Amino acid sequence: MPYTLPPNAKNAFHSQRLDCWQWEQELYDGSTAIFECVTRKDSASVIAFLDPNTILLTEQNQPGRISFIDAAGGVIEPNETPEEAAKREFFEETGYEIGKLELFQRYDSTGQIRFSTHIFLATDLKKTAEQHLDAGERITLRPTPFDEAVQLSLKRSLRQHGVMLTILALALDPEAKQQLSHFLK
């Protein structure tokens, strides 16, 4: 997790994925106020290349939510590394095993909602099974030309900001483009 909570923080609410924390904070004028934040489990997402010009996105539907387009991924479980979570979530959501995986970026959200998202690049994919979806998931695989993924990112049409920023960096930043080129060789 990308943050430390003050030692006087108290857990005001706990659920399966979220905790709400509150603490008294001294202000600059000597007065105090109650501060709060929400923490959630860290996650891992995979930008997977089927070939150098095509990535595998997903279109996901969940009960009570609007459908969304995203990279495959999900929560990092306790005692699981980000790499293990990326491989597991990708396999469950797509049925593909990852041959080559590399961490591209870790985005830390340190505001009122605090968590880390690990964005991985993947290639050398091998379809070995059907999807293993949770009862509340419907996921359609969307092989997407990389140029279209860039346009989706520019229009903020993907669910995760970290995934959109990564796609834009891979398309526009010379250093990231070089890293991608080396990764795909």
Domains of the chain with CATH codes: 10-39 (no CATH), 42-184 (3.90.79.10)
Residue 2 has pLDDT above 80, yes or no: no
Which residues have a Cβ under 8 Å from the Cβ of 22 and sit 6 or more positions away? 9, 10, 12, 34, 35, 36
Q: What is the spatial distance between Cα 143 and Cα 14, in angstroms, rounded to a whole number?
A: 38
What is the Cα 168 distance to its own chain's centre? 15
pLDDT confidence band for 17 (50 / 70 / 90): confident
Q: What is the spatial distance between Cα 185 and Cα 78, in angstroms, rounded to a whole number?
A: 33
Q: What is the spatial distance between Cα 168 and Cα 74, in angstroms, rounded to a whole number?
A: 21
Q: Which residues pair with 31 in a beta bridge?
A: none
pLDDT tens per residue across span 82-121: 999 999 999 999 999 999 999 999 999 988 999 999 999 9
Give the number of other Cβ atoms within 10 Å of residue 60's Cβ.
18
Q: What is the spatial distance between Cα 40 and Cα 2, in angstroms, rounded to a whole number?
A: 11
pLDDT tens per residue across span 113-168: 999 999 999 999 999 999 998 888 899 999 999 999 999 999 999 999 999 999 99
Q: Which residues pair with 72 in a beta bridge?
A: 46
Q: What is the spatial distance between Cα 16 and Cα 59, in angstroms, rounded to a whole number?
A: 24
How far is the CA of 1 from the CAs of 33, 70, 103, 106, 107, in angstroms? Answer: 25, 22, 16, 11, 10
CA angle 148, 150, 154 (to 5 degrees): 115
Q: What is the pLDDT of residue 111?
A: 87
Tokens matching residue 2: 């990308």
